[in-house]
Amino acid sequence: MLHTFKNFSNDESGAVTVDWVVLTAAVVGLGLIVMTAIRPAVTGLSTNIAGTINAAANP
List per-residue pLDDT tens for the chain, 59 residues long.
778 877 777 776 777 788 899 999 999 999 999 999 999 999 999 999 999 999 998 87
Domain ranges for the chain: 23-59
d(CA 45, CA 53): 12
How far is residue 39's CA from residue 45's CA, in Å, rounded to a whole number?
Answer: 10
How confident is the model at residue 17, as a pLDDT? Answer: 82
pLDDT at residue 45 in the model: 95
Residue 59, SS3 per DSSP: coil
